[in-house]
Chain A
């Protein structure tokens, strides 16, 4: 990847695309936006491959780009007028049913996650949903490990309150 090997790019894309998409979907909460963010993430990965210093794992570096891409998208969206959500699924969309099914895997969790402040949400997503270690999350988010611990802990606390009796100890 570092040397611009297109085969390596291809294998990197296939190895990481689903996890990047998953993270983007959970951060952004919208499938189309997550696809856009996934595309932008890998464009950035490919174009900045030579800047990867190898000080962290490649996957961690890609996650970091993905999270920053999501931040950018959120910032851009905040500058745009709010568009009303569609109240129906376009019947001409052949993937509509599949999207609904996929999005409904754990809707209560997605809703609860969406209520978390973005800093808490990202820390919890990376740590508890994506399974990154706390130092890896710190690397991705560019904050100290102690900050990550605090964010994850407080994020879980809020989630526990939001999910209430929907979760079984």
Chain B
């Protein structure tokens, strides 16, 4: 068999030929080629029928426990894994959103996209009005103890394991099915620039494309703060969900 024949047989077995006429003719006319092809197909079928391995429940729990423990214990590496730090801040802000909703007499997070967008805009406005639009992260010096305490307490009391927290958050965000909602990635960098933001700063999505939590340098240069920013005008790519 020539190298070309082997290539054809391999391509036929892989199903990667647009036109398999030549390959099929080869297999039909050359017993050696047919044996090679059938051997390939037999292995393919055998492997395809082999079930994938799965972790046992105990192994899965151990893996999750290890991961969340490692990720929670990694503040020293926060410069290379800022999601951890941001995640805590976001947790604080979710709580704050809830508080604002309660204070406003029961903010309706559900009820359709337009209504939700309006409500979130109101949340953003309210947050800006009440706290300069910024909520300090735990441990970051900031004037005013209310929001700081809320964010810090929320960060410290973040439920464990995270899946519980995720379920709780989903229940709170009644208008967004977080289980199926994709993760957003801001692709319109120019739009972000107009808002004075960097895509890496967008840390969480509160509404489908309306309001984001954004990590910002503190005005006094000491640490970072998180603020609500409406990014509805920026193009969003959904990369997961």
Contacts and interface: CB of A to CB of B under 8 A. Distances in A.
Given A6-B87, A47-B77, A163 B54 contact: no
A102 B57 CA distance: 13
A153 B185 contact: no
Contacts, number: 173
Given A6-B162, A95-B59, A149-B11, 13 more contacts: A1-B240, A3-B200, A7-B169, A8-B240, A9-B83, A10-B162, A124-B47, A128-B44, A149-B14, A150-B10, A153-B9, A167-B42, A169-B42
10 contacts: A1-B239, A3-B83, A3-B205, A18-B55, A25-B53, A38-B63, A39-B63, A50-B83, A129-B52, A149-B16
Interface stretch (B65-73, B103-111, B130-138): B65-73
A22 B16 CA distance: 25
Interface string B156-181: 00000011011001100000001100
Interface in B70-102: 70-71, 74, 77, 80-84, 86-87, 90-91
Interface of B: 6-7, 9-11, 13-14, 16, 36, 38-44, 46-48, 50-56, 58-60, 62-64, 66-67, 70-71, 74, 77, 80-84, 86-87, 90-91, 162-163, 165-166, 169-170, 178-179, 183-185, 199-200, 202-205, 237, 239-241
Interface of A: 1-14, 17-19, 21-22, 25-26, 34-35, 38-39, 42-43, 46-47, 49-50, 54, 58, 94-95, 98-99, 102, 105-106, 109, 124, 128-131, 134, 149-150, 152-153, 156-157, 159-160, 163, 167-169
Q: Which DSSP category, helix, strand, loop or mixed, fits chain A's interface?
A: helix
Q: Which DSSP category, helix, strand, loop or mixed, fits chain B's interface?
A: helix
Contacts of A8: 183, 240
B39 A1 contact: no
A11 B58 contact: no
Nearest to A18: B54
For the complex of A and B, 3 pairs with smallest distance between CB atoms: A4-B83, A128-B47, A22-B52
Contacts of B162: 6, 9-10
Given A6-B87, A22-B52, A95-B59, A156 B39 contact: yes
A118 B86 CA distance: 39
Contacts of B170: 7
Nearest to B204: A5
Contact of A128 (B43, B84, B178, B184): B43
A152 B40 CA distance: 10
B40 to A, nearest CB: 5
Contacts of B203: 3-5
Contacts of A99: 56
B83 A134 contact: no
A116 to B, nearest CB: 11
A131 B14 CA distance: 11
A42 B6 CA distance: 39
Contacts of B71: 43, 46
B10 A18 contact: no
Contacts of A95: 56, 58-59
Contacts of A1: 183, 239-240
Nearest to A34: B53
Nearest to B38: A169
Contacts of B56: 95, 98-99, 102
Contacts of A39: 63, 66-67, 70
Contacts of A129: 47-48, 50, 52
B58 to A, nearest CB: 6
A21 B47 contact: no
A22 B53 contact: yes
